[in-house]
Amino acid sequence: MESLSVFFPAYNDAPSLPALIRKTFAVVAPLVDDFEVIVVNDGSRDATGEVLERLAREYGPRLRVVTHPRNRGYGAALRSGFRAASKDLVFYTDGDGQYDVGELPLLLGLLTPAVGLVNGYKLNRSDPWHRVWIGRTYNAFARALFRIRIRDVDCDFRLIRRRLLDDVRLSSTSGTICVELVRKLELSKYQVRETGVHHYPRLHGRSQFFRVRSLLKTLWQLARLYVRVVAVPALSGKDGRLA
């Protein structure tokens, strides 16, 4: 097994992080000798910082914390996590506990030398009906506009080869970074695999993405992203991964 970085973007996730980190170590330690766990604290206003300090003392150098003094957005948190990850493979999912890190072996089992991205897709979305509807609409629109092949752009349960991340430039600071990331990874020479994963109700806090009132803002961000990573590279003849 290649070395593995596991990271979680976190914003006001103090209640969910202790169980998430403990399960991560329990799952990863028997699978991989060389691994690290990283949490990106994106300017949380709750006790996330204190919780992470306590967990860092408990787990030592295997657990690293990256802190944004102020909230910079989901995309910025992912970019910080990718920069901090140092191992051959990079896995990330959200710090709110809606995905089960215990299903990481499903992704690892699909990895071959020819595969660069293994992406989960939600078997059933455990969210309020309005978020389910917005999520489906967003996913269909983004896949059609950016010609993305994977079935669930919004499933943040991904295993990526480090060398692919070294070859792409990510600029999004919001949740639209998932569209930018997948679009650019699909343009690489590596294959993409998918597997179904479970999605669980959010037990603590509120989601920062896919609120009805932010839908127009999200669509505007997608339009700007389309110009930057699809339209401009097509006109200039450049590789869309580097846009």
Residue range 111-149, pLDDT digits in tens: 999 999 999 999 988 777 777 888 888 899 899 999 999
Band (pLDDT 50/70/90 cuts) for residue 204 is: low
- 110 Cβ contact list (under 8 Å, min separation 6): 118, 193, 195
- 176 Cβ contact list (under 8 Å, min separation 6): 75, 218, 221, 222, 225
- Measured between alpha carbons, how far is 57 from 65 in angstroms, rounded to an integer? 11
- 188 Cβ contact list (under 8 Å, min separation 6): 116, 164, 167, 241
Domain that holds residue 106: 4-242
Residue 91: pLDDT above 60? yes
Q: Angle CA(123)–CA(103)–CA(166) in degrees, nearest 5?
A: 100
What CATH number did the domain enclosing 185 receive? Answer: 3.90.550.10
In this prediction the pTM is 0.91
What does DSSP say about strands 157-161 and 115-122: parallel, antiparallel, or unpaired?
antiparallel
Determine the angle formed by the axes of helices 48-59 and 17-28, rounding to 10 degrees: 30
- 216 or 123, greater pLDDT: 123
What is the DSSP secondary structure assignment for residue 229, as one 8-state letter?
I
Alpha helices in the chain (DSSP H): 17-28, 48-59, 74-84, 104-109, 129-146, 162-167, 177-186, 215-226, 232-236
Q: Around Cβ 43, how many Cβ atoms within 10 Å? A: 17
Percent pLDDT > 70 in the chain is: 94
Nearest to 52 by CA among 95, 18, 76, 25: 18
Structural domains counted in the chain:
1
Residue range 35-88, pLDDT digits in tens: 999 999 999 999 999 999 999 999 999 999 999 999 999 999 999 999 999 999
- Measured between alpha carbons, how far is 94 from 13 in angstroms, rounded to an integer? 9
Place of tokens 């910080």: 80
Length of the chain: 243
Task: Identify any residues that bridge with 135 across adjacent strands, giving them in sequence order.
Answer: none
Q: Are 119 and 194 in contact (CB under 8 A)?
A: yes
Band (pLDDT 50/70/90 cuts) for residue 233 is: confident
